Chains A and B, each alone.
Chain A
Protein backbone atom coordinates (compact mmCIF):
# COMPACT_ATOMS: atom_id res chain seq x y z
CA UNK A 1 0.00 0.00 0.00
CA UNK A 2 1.37 3.42 -0.89
CA UNK A 3 0.83 6.39 1.39
CA UNK A 4 0.68 9.92 0.14
CA UNK A 5 0.25 13.07 2.13
CA UNK A 6 -1.45 15.81 0.14
CA UNK A 7 -3.30 19.02 0.74
CA UNK A 8 -7.06 19.44 0.57
CA UNK A 9 -6.74 21.46 -2.61
CA UNK A 10 -5.03 18.59 -4.43
CA UNK A 11 -7.54 15.98 -3.33
CA UNK A 12 -9.85 15.92 -6.33
CA UNK A 13 -7.04 15.96 -8.85
CA UNK A 14 -5.10 13.11 -7.18
CA UNK A 15 -8.22 10.97 -6.66
CA UNK A 16 -9.30 11.40 -10.24
CA UNK A 17 -5.86 10.32 -11.34
CA UNK A 18 -6.13 7.19 -9.22
CA UNK A 19 -9.64 6.45 -10.42
CA UNK A 20 -8.46 6.65 -13.99
CA UNK A 21 -5.68 4.19 -13.12
CA UNK A 22 -8.28 1.72 -11.87
CA UNK A 23 -8.31 2.37 -8.12
CA UNK A 24 -12.09 2.60 -8.05
CA UNK A 25 -13.04 0.56 -4.99
CA UNK A 26 -13.49 2.66 -1.84
CA UNK A 27 -12.09 0.65 1.04
CA UNK A 28 -12.37 3.06 3.94
CA UNK A 29 -12.40 6.75 4.71
CA UNK A 30 -12.06 8.24 8.11
CA UNK A 31 -10.41 10.93 10.17
CA UNK A 32 -7.84 10.75 12.94
CA UNK A 33 -7.53 13.36 15.65
CA UNK A 34 -3.82 13.77 16.34
CA UNK A 35 -4.29 16.14 19.24
CA UNK A 36 -3.24 19.28 17.42
CA UNK A 37 -4.78 18.73 14.00
CA UNK A 38 -7.13 16.43 12.18
CA UNK A 39 -6.04 14.11 9.42
CA UNK A 40 -8.30 12.51 6.83
CA UNK A 41 -7.43 9.08 5.48
CA UNK A 42 -8.72 7.56 2.26
CA UNK A 43 -7.91 4.08 1.01
CA UNK A 44 -8.72 3.18 -2.59
CA UNK A 45 -8.25 -0.26 -4.01
CA UNK A 46 -7.54 -1.73 -7.42
CA UNK A 47 -9.58 -4.90 -7.88
CA UNK A 48 -7.42 -6.44 -10.54
CA UNK A 49 -3.82 -7.48 -10.32
CA UNK A 50 -1.98 -4.24 -9.77
CA UNK A 51 1.00 -3.13 -7.76
CA UNK A 52 0.30 -1.65 -5.29
CA UNK A 53 -3.14 -3.07 -4.54
CA UNK A 54 -4.21 -0.15 -2.39
CA UNK A 55 -3.39 3.51 -2.21
CA UNK A 56 -3.77 5.55 0.93
CA UNK A 57 -4.17 9.31 0.93
CA UNK A 58 -3.76 11.49 3.99
CA UNK A 59 -4.95 15.05 4.21
CA UNK A 60 -4.08 17.19 7.23
CA UNK A 61 -6.74 19.65 8.34
CA UNK A 62 -6.83 22.31 11.02
CA UNK A 63 -9.42 22.31 13.77
CA UNK A 64 -10.75 25.73 12.91
CA UNK A 65 -11.88 25.21 9.36
CA UNK A 66 -11.92 21.52 8.45
CA UNK A 67 -13.22 21.55 4.91
CA UNK A 68 -12.58 19.35 1.95
CA UNK A 69 -14.36 18.84 -1.34
CA UNK A 70 -16.69 15.86 -1.38
CA UNK A 71 -15.62 12.95 -3.52
CA UNK A 72 -19.14 11.57 -3.96
CA UNK A 73 -19.54 12.66 -7.58
CA UNK A 74 -16.68 10.32 -8.50
CA UNK A 75 -16.76 7.73 -5.74
CA UNK A 76 -20.40 7.17 -4.73
CA UNK A 77 -19.25 4.62 -2.16
CA UNK A 78 -18.02 7.40 0.13
CA UNK A 79 -21.40 8.99 0.67
CA UNK A 80 -21.98 7.47 4.11
CA UNK A 81 -18.34 7.62 5.19
CA UNK A 82 -18.20 11.35 4.57
CA UNK A 83 -21.40 11.84 6.53
CA UNK A 84 -19.91 9.79 9.34
CA UNK A 85 -16.76 11.92 9.51
CA UNK A 86 -18.91 15.04 9.50
CA UNK A 87 -21.03 13.57 12.27
CA UNK A 88 -18.20 12.47 14.52
CA UNK A 89 -15.43 14.95 13.68
CA UNK A 90 -17.14 18.00 12.22
CA UNK A 91 -15.43 18.00 8.84
CA UNK A 92 -17.50 19.73 6.18
CA UNK A 93 -17.58 18.16 2.72
CA UNK A 94 -18.17 20.68 -0.03
CA UNK A 95 -20.69 19.37 -2.50
CA UNK A 96 -21.99 16.37 -0.57
CA UNK A 97 -25.60 15.72 -1.63
CA UNK A 98 -26.87 14.98 1.86
CA UNK A 99 -24.63 16.61 4.46
CA UNK A 100 -26.28 15.59 7.71
CA UNK A 101 -25.45 13.38 10.62
CA UNK A 102 -25.37 9.65 10.08
CA UNK A 103 -25.28 7.94 13.45
CA UNK A 104 -26.15 10.56 16.04
CA UNK A 105 -29.52 12.28 16.35
CA UNK A 106 -29.96 15.24 14.04
CA UNK A 107 -30.18 17.68 16.91
CA UNK A 108 -27.04 16.45 18.66
CA UNK A 109 -24.45 19.10 19.36
CA UNK A 110 -20.77 18.38 19.35
CA UNK A 111 -18.49 16.03 17.49
CA UNK A 112 -17.71 13.14 19.82
CA UNK A 113 -14.69 11.56 18.22
CA UNK A 114 -12.60 14.67 18.59
CA UNK A 115 -10.10 14.37 21.38
CA UNK A 116 -11.54 17.47 22.99
CA UNK A 117 -14.89 15.76 23.51
CA UNK A 118 -15.29 13.94 26.81
CA UNK A 119 -17.81 11.19 27.47
CA UNK A 120 -19.36 13.07 30.32
CA UNK A 121 -20.60 15.55 27.79
CA UNK A 122 -19.35 18.82 26.53
CA UNK A 123 -15.90 19.83 25.52
CA UNK A 124 -12.76 19.35 27.52
CA UNK A 125 -11.12 22.76 28.01
Chain B
Protein backbone atom coordinates (compact mmCIF):
# COMPACT_ATOMS: atom_id res chain seq x y z
CA UNK B 1 0.00 0.00 0.00
CA UNK B 2 1.43 3.35 -0.94
CA UNK B 3 1.09 6.14 1.56
CA UNK B 4 -0.85 9.19 0.49
CA UNK B 5 1.40 12.22 0.32
CA UNK B 6 -0.50 15.26 1.51
CA UNK B 7 -0.10 17.80 -1.25
CA UNK B 8 2.06 16.35 -4.03
CA UNK B 9 1.26 13.21 -6.01
CA UNK B 10 -1.09 10.64 -4.70
CA UNK B 11 1.26 7.72 -5.38
CA UNK B 12 4.88 7.54 -4.29
CA UNK B 13 7.16 6.27 -6.97
CA UNK B 14 10.82 6.25 -6.33
CA UNK B 15 13.43 6.57 -8.95
CA UNK B 16 16.46 4.48 -8.19
CA UNK B 17 19.76 6.16 -8.82
CA UNK B 18 22.33 3.60 -9.78
CA UNK B 19 25.97 4.53 -9.94
CA UNK B 20 27.99 2.54 -12.46
CA UNK B 21 31.68 3.03 -11.90
CA UNK B 22 34.25 4.49 -11.86
CA UNK B 23 35.42 1.04 -10.90
CA UNK B 24 33.23 -1.37 -12.75
CA UNK B 25 33.99 -4.39 -14.89
CA UNK B 26 32.10 -3.10 -17.87
CA UNK B 27 32.62 0.60 -18.16
CA UNK B 28 35.81 0.02 -20.10
CA UNK B 29 38.02 2.26 -18.16
CA UNK B 30 37.57 4.72 -15.35
CA UNK B 31 34.26 6.15 -16.35
CA UNK B 32 31.26 6.88 -14.21
CA UNK B 33 27.67 6.77 -15.33
CA UNK B 34 24.87 7.73 -13.04
CA UNK B 35 21.66 6.10 -14.17
CA UNK B 36 18.22 7.18 -13.09
CA UNK B 37 16.17 4.04 -13.08
CA UNK B 38 12.53 3.29 -12.79
CA UNK B 39 12.65 -0.43 -12.02
CA UNK B 40 14.92 -1.73 -14.72
CA UNK B 41 14.19 1.07 -17.21
CA UNK B 42 16.61 3.93 -17.63
CA UNK B 43 15.03 7.35 -17.62
CA UNK B 44 18.15 9.47 -17.37
CA UNK B 45 21.90 9.16 -17.65
CA UNK B 46 24.65 11.51 -16.54
CA UNK B 47 28.19 10.64 -17.56
CA UNK B 48 31.12 11.78 -15.45
CA UNK B 49 34.57 11.64 -16.92
CA UNK B 50 37.97 13.07 -16.21
CA UNK B 51 39.32 10.31 -14.01
CA UNK B 52 42.09 9.71 -16.52
CA UNK B 53 42.88 13.33 -17.34
CA UNK B 54 46.61 13.66 -17.68
CA UNK B 55 47.00 17.08 -19.23
CA UNK B 56 48.28 16.03 -22.65
CA UNK B 57 47.26 19.24 -24.35
CA UNK B 58 49.05 21.49 -21.90
CA UNK B 59 52.10 19.24 -22.08
CA UNK B 60 52.33 19.85 -25.81
CA UNK B 61 53.00 23.49 -25.07
CA UNK B 62 55.93 22.58 -22.88
CA UNK B 63 57.67 19.95 -24.97
CA UNK B 64 59.43 20.23 -28.27
CA UNK B 65 58.05 18.36 -31.23
CA UNK B 66 60.44 15.48 -30.75
CA UNK B 67 60.10 15.39 -26.97
CA UNK B 68 56.35 15.04 -27.38
CA UNK B 69 56.57 12.00 -29.64
CA UNK B 70 55.98 9.30 -26.99
CA UNK B 71 52.83 11.02 -25.72
CA UNK B 72 50.28 10.46 -28.49
CA UNK B 73 50.46 6.68 -28.01
CA UNK B 74 48.89 7.18 -24.65
CA UNK B 75 45.76 8.98 -25.81
CA UNK B 76 43.92 5.99 -27.23
CA UNK B 77 46.27 3.29 -26.04
CA UNK B 78 44.47 0.57 -27.96
CA UNK B 79 44.99 2.29 -31.29
CA UNK B 80 48.33 3.91 -30.67
CA UNK B 81 49.44 4.01 -34.29
CA UNK B 82 46.47 6.20 -35.15
CA UNK B 83 47.31 8.64 -32.37
CA UNK B 84 50.83 8.82 -33.66
CA UNK B 85 49.68 9.23 -37.24
CA UNK B 86 47.37 12.09 -36.27
CA UNK B 87 50.14 13.93 -34.42
CA UNK B 88 52.84 13.24 -37.00
CA UNK B 89 50.46 14.03 -39.84
CA UNK B 90 49.57 17.39 -38.31
CA UNK B 91 53.22 18.19 -37.74
CA UNK B 92 54.21 17.15 -41.25
CA UNK B 93 51.40 19.28 -42.68
CA UNK B 94 52.68 22.33 -40.81
CA UNK B 95 56.29 21.68 -41.68
CA UNK B 96 55.59 20.83 -45.28
CA UNK B 97 57.24 17.42 -45.08
CA UNK B 98 56.02 14.44 -47.06
CA UNK B 99 57.16 10.99 -46.04
CA UNK B 100 58.51 8.77 -48.82
CA UNK B 101 56.31 6.11 -50.38
CA UNK B 102 57.79 3.19 -48.50
CA UNK B 103 57.13 4.90 -45.20
CA UNK B 104 53.60 5.73 -46.22
CA UNK B 105 52.82 2.13 -47.10
CA UNK B 106 54.38 0.87 -43.89
CA UNK B 107 52.33 3.38 -41.94
CA UNK B 108 49.23 2.04 -43.64
CA UNK B 109 50.23 -1.50 -42.75
CA UNK B 110 50.80 -0.83 -39.06
CA UNK B 111 47.62 1.23 -38.82
CA UNK B 112 45.49 -1.50 -40.28
CA UNK B 113 47.19 -4.04 -38.01
CA UNK B 114 46.38 -1.79 -35.07
CA UNK B 115 42.79 -1.47 -36.21
CA UNK B 116 42.53 -5.26 -36.23
CA UNK B 117 44.00 -5.52 -32.76
CA UNK B 118 41.66 -2.84 -31.43
CA UNK B 119 38.59 -4.45 -32.96
CA UNK B 120 39.60 -7.86 -31.64
CA UNK B 121 39.84 -6.47 -28.13
CA UNK B 122 36.50 -4.74 -28.60
CA UNK B 123 34.92 -7.99 -29.77
CA UNK B 124 36.16 -9.95 -26.79
CA UNK B 125 35.06 -7.38 -24.23
CA UNK B 126 31.74 -6.71 -25.93
CA UNK B 127 30.84 -10.37 -25.84
CA UNK B 128 32.07 -10.60 -22.26
CA UNK B 129 29.70 -7.81 -21.31
CA UNK B 130 26.84 -9.65 -22.95
CA UNK B 131 27.72 -12.77 -20.97
CA UNK B 132 29.63 -14.95 -23.40
CA UNK B 133 32.86 -15.82 -21.65
CA UNK B 134 34.78 -17.76 -24.25
CA UNK B 135 35.18 -15.50 -27.31
CA UNK B 136 37.23 -13.12 -25.16
CA UNK B 137 39.95 -15.75 -24.95
CA UNK B 138 39.82 -16.61 -28.62
CA UNK B 139 40.10 -12.98 -29.77
CA UNK B 140 42.94 -12.33 -27.36
CA UNK B 141 44.80 -15.29 -28.73
CA UNK B 142 44.64 -13.66 -32.16
CA UNK B 143 45.45 -10.26 -30.76
CA UNK B 144 48.56 -11.65 -29.11
CA UNK B 145 49.81 -12.68 -32.52
CA UNK B 146 49.32 -9.18 -33.85
CA UNK B 147 51.01 -7.66 -30.83
CA UNK B 148 53.92 -10.03 -31.28
CA UNK B 149 54.27 -8.88 -34.89
CA UNK B 150 54.23 -5.26 -33.82
CA UNK B 151 56.70 -5.94 -31.05
CA UNK B 152 59.09 -7.44 -33.56
CA UNK B 153 58.81 -4.35 -35.71
CA UNK B 154 58.67 -1.53 -33.20
CA UNK B 155 59.87 -2.96 -29.90
CA UNK B 156 56.64 -2.41 -28.00
CA UNK B 157 53.28 -4.13 -27.72
CA UNK B 158 50.95 -1.27 -27.05
CA UNK B 159 52.59 2.16 -27.04
CA UNK B 160 54.91 2.00 -30.00
CA UNK B 161 56.51 5.44 -30.41
CA UNK B 162 57.26 4.27 -33.94
CA UNK B 163 56.36 7.08 -36.34
CA UNK B 164 58.59 10.08 -36.80
CA UNK B 165 58.28 13.28 -38.76
CA UNK B 166 59.16 12.21 -42.27
CA UNK B 167 58.96 8.47 -41.74
CA UNK B 168 59.53 6.07 -38.91
CA UNK B 169 62.25 4.54 -36.79
CA UNK B 170 62.70 0.98 -37.98
CA UNK B 171 62.25 -0.53 -41.37
CA UNK B 172 60.37 -3.76 -41.92
CA UNK B 173 62.56 -6.53 -43.30
CA UNK B 174 61.52 -9.25 -45.74
CA UNK B 175 61.00 -11.89 -43.04
CA UNK B 176 58.58 -9.69 -41.18
CA UNK B 177 56.64 -8.86 -44.30
CA UNK B 178 56.47 -12.54 -45.22
CA UNK B 179 55.22 -13.40 -41.74
CA UNK B 180 52.53 -10.80 -42.08
CA UNK B 181 51.59 -12.09 -45.49
CA UNK B 182 51.19 -15.60 -44.09
CA UNK B 183 49.17 -14.28 -41.18
CA UNK B 184 46.46 -12.64 -43.27
CA UNK B 185 44.77 -15.84 -44.52
CA UNK B 186 45.01 -17.23 -40.97
CA UNK B 187 43.16 -14.22 -39.57
CA UNK B 188 40.61 -14.45 -42.33
CA UNK B 189 39.87 -18.00 -41.32
CA UNK B 190 39.54 -17.01 -37.65
CA UNK B 191 37.22 -14.15 -38.57
CA UNK B 192 35.01 -16.61 -40.39
CA UNK B 193 34.96 -18.79 -37.28
CA UNK B 194 33.90 -15.90 -35.10
CA UNK B 195 31.08 -15.00 -37.45
CA UNK B 196 29.96 -18.62 -37.46
CA UNK B 197 30.07 -18.89 -33.68
CA UNK B 198 28.46 -15.58 -32.81
CA UNK B 199 26.20 -14.35 -35.61
CA UNK B 200 23.52 -16.99 -35.39
CA UNK B 201 23.46 -17.36 -31.63
CA UNK B 202 19.82 -16.66 -30.80
CA UNK B 203 20.50 -15.36 -27.31
CA UNK B 204 23.13 -12.95 -28.62
CA UNK B 205 20.87 -11.69 -31.38
CA UNK B 206 18.08 -11.01 -28.95
CA UNK B 207 20.46 -9.13 -26.69
CA UNK B 208 21.73 -6.79 -29.38
CA UNK B 209 19.08 -6.36 -32.03
CA UNK B 210 16.92 -3.25 -31.88
CA UNK B 211 18.87 -2.01 -28.88
CA UNK B 212 20.44 1.43 -28.69
CA UNK B 213 19.14 2.69 -31.99
CA UNK B 214 20.41 5.98 -33.29
CA UNK B 215 19.39 7.47 -36.61
CA UNK B 216 21.84 8.66 -39.24
CA UNK B 217 20.85 12.30 -38.98
CA UNK B 218 21.15 12.29 -35.17
CA UNK B 219 24.51 10.60 -35.46
CA UNK B 220 25.73 13.32 -37.80
CA UNK B 221 24.48 16.11 -35.58
CA UNK B 222 26.27 14.67 -32.58
CA UNK B 223 29.54 14.36 -34.44
CA UNK B 224 29.73 10.60 -34.10
CA UNK B 225 32.26 8.80 -36.17
CA UNK B 226 33.55 5.45 -37.29
CA UNK B 227 31.33 2.42 -36.84
CA UNK B 228 28.80 4.48 -34.84
CA UNK B 229 28.13 6.57 -37.92
CA UNK B 230 28.40 3.86 -40.54
CA UNK B 231 26.05 1.53 -38.66
CA UNK B 232 23.35 4.18 -39.00
CA UNK B 233 23.56 4.26 -42.75
CA UNK B 234 25.93 7.19 -43.23
CA UNK B 235 28.61 6.27 -45.73
CA UNK B 236 31.52 8.31 -44.39
CA UNK B 237 35.05 7.08 -43.92
CA UNK B 238 38.02 9.44 -43.76
CA UNK B 239 40.13 6.90 -45.62
CA UNK B 240 37.92 7.40 -48.63
CA UNK B 241 36.42 10.87 -48.18
CA UNK B 242 39.47 12.73 -46.85
CA UNK B 243 42.32 10.38 -47.76
CA UNK B 244 45.73 10.81 -46.22
CA UNK B 245 49.03 9.03 -46.70
CA UNK B 246 48.81 5.84 -48.69
CA UNK B 247 45.03 5.90 -48.66
CA UNK B 248 45.21 8.44 -51.48
CA UNK B 249 46.47 5.64 -53.72
CA UNK B 250 44.05 2.86 -52.79
CA UNK B 251 40.30 2.77 -52.78
CA UNK B 252 38.95 1.80 -49.37
CA UNK B 253 35.63 -0.06 -49.39
CA UNK B 254 33.29 1.54 -46.89
CA UNK B 255 30.98 -0.81 -44.98
CA UNK B 256 27.64 0.47 -43.76
CA UNK B 257 24.54 -0.94 -42.13
CA UNK B 258 21.13 0.64 -42.01
CA UNK B 259 19.62 -0.38 -38.69
CA UNK B 260 21.65 1.84 -36.38
CA UNK B 261 21.30 -0.58 -33.49
CA UNK B 262 23.90 -2.48 -31.49
CA UNK B 263 23.74 -5.41 -33.89
CA UNK B 264 24.50 -3.10 -36.82
CA UNK B 265 27.55 -1.72 -35.04
CA UNK B 266 28.74 -5.26 -34.40
CA UNK B 267 28.35 -6.17 -38.07
CA UNK B 268 30.13 -3.02 -39.22
CA UNK B 269 33.14 -3.72 -37.03
CA UNK B 270 33.32 -7.33 -38.14
CA UNK B 271 33.15 -6.26 -41.78
CA UNK B 272 35.76 -3.60 -41.13
CA UNK B 273 38.11 -6.30 -39.89
CA UNK B 274 37.67 -8.12 -43.17
CA UNK B 275 38.34 -4.88 -45.05
CA UNK B 276 41.48 -4.32 -43.00
CA UNK B 277 42.75 -7.75 -43.98
CA UNK B 278 42.13 -6.96 -47.64
CA UNK B 279 43.92 -3.62 -47.30
CA UNK B 280 46.86 -5.36 -45.66
CA UNK B 281 47.23 -7.59 -48.66
CA UNK B 282 47.02 -4.62 -51.02
CA UNK B 283 49.64 -2.73 -49.02
CA UNK B 284 51.94 -5.72 -48.94
CA UNK B 285 51.83 -5.80 -52.73
CA UNK B 286 52.32 -2.07 -52.96
CA UNK B 287 55.35 -1.64 -50.77
CA UNK B 288 58.25 -0.22 -52.82
CA UNK B 289 61.95 -0.33 -52.17
CA UNK B 290 63.26 3.04 -51.31
CA UNK B 291 64.20 5.47 -48.57
CA UNK B 292 62.34 5.23 -45.32
CA UNK B 293 62.72 8.75 -44.02
CA UNK B 294 62.49 12.18 -45.59
CA UNK B 295 64.88 14.95 -44.76
CA UNK B 296 63.76 16.73 -41.62
CA UNK B 297 65.38 19.82 -40.05
CA UNK B 298 67.40 19.01 -36.95
CA UNK B 299 65.68 21.61 -34.85
CA UNK B 300 61.97 21.38 -35.57
CA UNK B 301 60.15 24.67 -35.25
CA UNK B 302 56.47 24.78 -35.95
CA UNK B 303 55.76 27.75 -38.25
CA UNK B 304 53.24 30.41 -37.29
CA UNK B 305 50.33 28.55 -38.88
CA UNK B 306 47.58 26.18 -37.92
CA UNK B 307 46.33 22.93 -39.33
CA UNK B 308 43.79 20.22 -38.65
CA UNK B 309 44.74 16.65 -39.53
CA UNK B 310 42.47 13.70 -38.97
CA UNK B 311 42.73 9.93 -39.41
CA UNK B 312 40.06 7.26 -39.44
CA UNK B 313 40.71 5.40 -36.21
CA UNK B 314 38.85 2.31 -35.06
CA UNK B 315 36.53 4.51 -33.04
CA UNK B 316 36.00 7.30 -35.51
CA UNK B 317 37.66 10.52 -36.50
CA UNK B 318 40.81 11.09 -34.50
CA UNK B 319 42.08 14.55 -35.26
CA UNK B 320 44.79 16.93 -34.13
CA UNK B 321 44.41 20.71 -34.41
CA UNK B 322 47.91 22.10 -34.20
CA UNK B 323 48.79 25.77 -33.91
CA UNK B 324 52.42 26.78 -34.14
CA UNK B 325 54.03 30.09 -33.26
CA UNK B 326 57.47 29.81 -34.81
CA UNK B 327 59.05 28.36 -31.68
CA UNK B 328 60.05 24.83 -30.79
CA UNK B 329 56.90 24.37 -28.75
CA UNK B 330 53.42 24.22 -30.17
CA UNK B 331 51.21 27.13 -29.21
CA UNK B 332 48.18 24.88 -28.93
CA UNK B 333 47.55 21.27 -29.69
CA UNK B 334 43.96 20.15 -29.49
CA UNK B 335 43.10 16.47 -29.74
CA UNK B 336 39.78 15.60 -31.32
CA UNK B 337 38.86 12.31 -29.63
CA UNK B 338 36.24 10.15 -31.34
CA UNK B 339 35.19 8.52 -28.07
CA UNK B 340 34.29 11.89 -26.53
CA UNK B 341 31.97 12.70 -29.40
CA UNK B 342 30.54 9.19 -29.32
CA UNK B 343 29.75 9.67 -25.64
CA UNK B 344 27.71 12.78 -26.35
CA UNK B 345 25.00 10.59 -27.78
CA UNK B 346 24.82 8.48 -24.63
CA UNK B 347 21.44 9.75 -23.46
CA UNK B 348 20.02 9.26 -26.95
CA UNK B 349 21.22 5.69 -26.87
CA UNK B 350 20.37 4.70 -23.33
CA UNK B 351 17.15 6.39 -22.27
CA UNK B 352 14.32 3.95 -22.66
CA UNK B 353 16.37 0.78 -22.38
CA UNK B 354 17.06 -1.49 -19.44
CA UNK B 355 20.15 -1.77 -17.30
CA UNK B 356 21.55 -4.88 -19.00
CA UNK B 357 21.00 -3.18 -22.34
CA UNK B 358 22.96 -0.20 -21.07
CA UNK B 359 25.99 -2.42 -20.68
CA UNK B 360 25.59 -3.91 -24.13
CA UNK B 361 25.08 -0.49 -25.71
CA UNK B 362 28.08 1.03 -23.96
CA UNK B 363 30.09 -1.94 -25.14
CA UNK B 364 29.03 -1.30 -28.71
CA UNK B 365 30.11 2.35 -28.53
CA UNK B 366 33.66 1.15 -27.83
CA UNK B 367 35.07 4.01 -25.80
CA UNK B 368 38.60 4.34 -24.55
CA UNK B 369 38.95 6.67 -21.62
CA UNK B 370 42.51 7.56 -22.47
CA UNK B 371 41.37 9.70 -25.34
CA UNK B 372 38.17 10.92 -23.70
CA UNK B 373 40.05 12.40 -20.79
CA UNK B 374 43.50 13.03 -22.26
User: Is there any pair of Cβ atoms, one from A and one from B, under 8 angstroms apart in the complex?
Assistant: yes
- Using a CB–CB cutoff of 8 Å, the interface residues on chain A facing chain B are 1, 24-28, 30, 32-34, 41, 43, 47, 53-54, 56, 75-81, 88, 101-105, 112-113, 119
Bound Cα distance A24, B223 (Å) = 9
A28: contacting residue among B331, B336, B374, CB under 8 A: B336
Determine whether the beta carbon of B223 is less than 8 Å from that of A26: yes
Bound Cα distance A39, B221 (Å) = 24
Determine whether the beta carbon of B332 is less than 8 Å from that of A32: yes
Determine whether the beta carbon of A32 is less than 8 Å from that of B344: no
- The reply to whether the CB of B6 lies closer than 8 angstroms to some CB of chain A is no
- The reply to whether the CB of B192 lies closer than 8 angstroms to some CB of chain A is no
A102: contacting residue among B50, B224, B306, CB under 8 A: B50
Q: Whole-angstrom distance from the CB of B159 to the nearest CB of chain A?
A: 21
- The reply to whether the CB of B317 lies closer than 8 angstroms to some CB of chain A is yes
- The reply to whether the CB of B58 lies closer than 8 angstroms to some CB of chain A is yes
Determine whether the beta carbon of B221 is less than 8 Å from that of A24: yes
Determine whether the beta carbon of B57 is less than 8 Å from that of A43: no
Residues from 319 to 345 in B contacting A, C-beta threshold 8 Å: 319, 321, 323, 331-332, 334, 336, 340-341, 343-344
Residues of chain B contacted by A79 (CB below 8 angstroms): 344
Bound Cα distance A48, B220 (Å) = 12
Determine whether the beta carbon of B53 is less than 8 Å from that of A104: yes
Determine whether the beta carbon of B323 is less than 8 Å from that of A32: yes
B340: contacting residue among A1, A80, A105, CB under 8 A: A80
Residues of chain A contacted by B221 (CB below 8 angstroms): 24-26, 75-77
Determine whether the beta carbon of B319 is less than 8 Å from that of A28: yes
Q: Whole-angstrom distance from the CB of B236 to the nearest CB of chain A?
A: 6
Residues of chain B contacted by A78 (CB below 8 angstroms): 223
Residues of chain A contacted by B82 (CB below 8 angstroms): none
Residues of chain B contacted by A75 (CB below 8 angstroms): 221
Bound Cα distance A41, B49 (Å) = 23
Q: Whole-angstrom distance from the CB of A50 to the nearest CB of chain B?
A: 11
Q: Whole-angstrom distance from the CB of A125 to the nearest CB of chain B?
A: 19
- The reply to whether the CB of B31 lies closer than 8 angstroms to some CB of chain A is no
- The reply to whether the CB of B373 lies closer than 8 angstroms to some CB of chain A is yes
Most chain-B Cβ atoms within 10 A of its Cβ — which of A25, A43, A78? A25
Question: Known contacts being A41-B321, A76-B344, is A27 close to B336, with CB within 8 Å?
Answer: yes
Determine whether the beta carbon of A112 is less than 8 Å from that of B58: yes
- The reply to whether the CB of B170 lies closer than 8 angstroms to some CB of chain A is no
Determine whether the beta carbon of A33 is less than 8 Å from that of B242: no
Question: Known contacts being A27-B317, A112-B55, is A104 close to B50, with CB within 8 Å?
Answer: yes
B332: contacting residue among A25, A33, A105, CB under 8 A: A33
Residues of chain B contacted by A56 (CB below 8 angstroms): 308
Question: Known contacts being A30-B321, A75-B221, is A103 close to B49, with CB within 8 Å?
Answer: yes
Residues of chain B contacted by A26 (CB below 8 angstroms): 221-223, 341
Bound Cα distance A28, B308 (Å) = 9
Q: A27-B310, A30-B334, A119-B55 are in contact. List 12 more A-B contacts (CB 8 A).
A: A26-B222, A28-B321, A30-B332, A32-B323, A47-B220, A47-B234, A54-B308, A76-B344, A77-B341, A80-B341, A105-B50, A112-B55
A76: contacting residue among B49, B222, B236, B319, CB under 8 A: B222
Bound Cα distance A2, B317 (Å) = 20
B308: contacting residue among A24, A27, A32, CB under 8 A: A27
5 A-B pairs with C-beta separation under 8 A: A32-B323, A76-B344, A101-B50, A103-B53, A119-B62
